[in-house]
Amino acid sequence: MLAVHPQHDVPSHSAHQVSERHVVAADAVEIDSTRLLKGHREVLIRHGNECYRLRHTRNDKLILTK
């Protein structure tokens, strides 16, 4: 599971952490979006036989579509 989340939502040592926005598994890995996008506005992500598109919008949001 890949979780991208604000710094204040970093998982604690408990099994799960509940915040107002999401639940994050204790073994979740945080990766900065700039490492995924590498200067591009969108990247394609292969997951098994499926291809997903991760886009960085003009409003500074990330959108993942199949």
* pTM for this prediction: 0.60
Q: Over the stretch 27-39, which tens digit does the pLDDT of each residue have?
A: 889 999 999 999 9
For 13-47, give the DSSP string.
SSSEEE-SS-EEETT-B---HHHHHTT-SEEEEEE
Going from the C-alpha of 14 to that of each of 25, 39, 65, the distances in angstroms are 9, 35, 31
Residue 58: what pLDDT? 96
Residue 40: what pLDDT? 97
Alpha-carbon span 41 to 38, nearest angstrom? 9
Q: Over the stretch 6-52, which tens digit does the pLDDT of each residue have?
A: 444 444 444 455 545 677 788 889 999 999 999 999 999 999 999 99
Whether the Cβ atoms of residue 55 and residue 62 lie closer than 8 Å to each other: yes
